[in-house]
């Protein structure tokens, strides 16, 4: 585990050290619409993204020495700069464990900003009968076929993401 953390730390350090200093200009979020997961990444050279070619190559080569590291994928500005698979292939599924919380938190933040989600404390299954459920009231209105249980009514992204389920679920364990 320490090897993976060291590898990610090293990758971050190298890429940030090799980046050209650019003025940060705030920009509005462009909605990409639906993403076609079957289309390949647009590939770009490190130099075209203001990265040093040799540094990217070195990071990809040194990754092989990091115990437990299965792959490295380097993406900048939405373009694939480099990738290396040490165990398996690009098609293999990876166990990302707790990284899922980070991804869900990021998506929840975007949904809140776009007013598609009230807050992380919004119940996933509100205390409404199926007849009363509307799209804005729940995450999955068409799948709610019965009134939620006591446990379900208290379930929210915040409780899942911050490991606070034990406050409302001790009786079910």
Q: Could you state, in order of their start, the residue ranges of all structural domains in the chain?
A: 2-85, 99-172
Query: Over 70: is that where the pLDDT of 22 sits?
Result: no
Return the pLDDT at 150: 65
Q: What is the DSSP string of the chain?
A: -HHHHHHHHHHHHHHHHHSPP------PPP---S--TTSPPPB--TGGGT--HHHHHHHHHHGGGSTT--EEEEEETTEEEEEEESSS-TTS----TTHHHHHHHHHHHHHHHTTSSS-TTSBSS-S--TTT--GGG-S-GGG--SPPPHHHHH-BHHHHHTT-THHHHGGG-
**pLDDT tens per residue across span 62-110:** 999 999 888 998 988 878 899 999 988 888 887 777 777 788 888 888 8
């Amino acid at each position: 585990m320490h090897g993976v953390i060291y590898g990610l730390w090293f990758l971050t350090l190298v890429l940030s050290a090799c980046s050209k200093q650019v003025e940060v200009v705030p920009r509005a979020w462009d909605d990409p619409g639906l993403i076609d997961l079957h289309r390949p990444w647009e590939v770009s050279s490190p130099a075209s993204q203001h990265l040093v070619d040799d540094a990217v190559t070195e990071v990809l080569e040194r990754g092989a020495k990091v115990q437990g590291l299965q792959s490295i994928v380097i993406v900048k500005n939405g373009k694939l700069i480099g990738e290396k698979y040490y165990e398996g292939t690009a098609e293999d599924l990876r166990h990302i464990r707790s990284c899922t919380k980070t991804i869900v938190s990021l998506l929840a933040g975007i949904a809140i900003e776009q007013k598609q989600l009230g807050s992380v404390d919004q119940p996933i299954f509100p205390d409404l009968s199926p007849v009363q459920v509307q799209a804005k009231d729940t995450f999955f209105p068409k799948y709610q076929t019965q009134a939620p249980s006591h446990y379900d009514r208290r379930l929210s992204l915040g409780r899942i993401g911050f490991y606070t389920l034990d406050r409302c679920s001790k009786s079910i364990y």
